[in-house]
Amino acid sequence: MLISWQYRDLNTRDKGEKMTESTCIKCSSHDFIIHPVSMEQHERHLLFVQCSQCGGVVGVVEDTNIKQEFGNIWAKLTEIESSIE
Q: DSSP 3-state helix, strand, coil percentages of the chain (rounded to 5)? A: 25, 30, 40
- Using only C-alpha atoms, what is the Rg of the chain? 20
31-62: pLDDT as tens digits: 899 888 877 776 778 888 999 999 998 888 88
pTM: 0.52
pLDDT in tens, 68-83: 888 889 999 999 988 8
User: Quick one: CA torsion of 15, 16, 17, 22, rounded to 10 degrees?
Assistant: 130
Q: What is the pLDDT of residue 53?
A: 92
| Domains in the chain: boundaries | 3-84
Between strands 32-39 and 57-62, the pairing is: unpaired
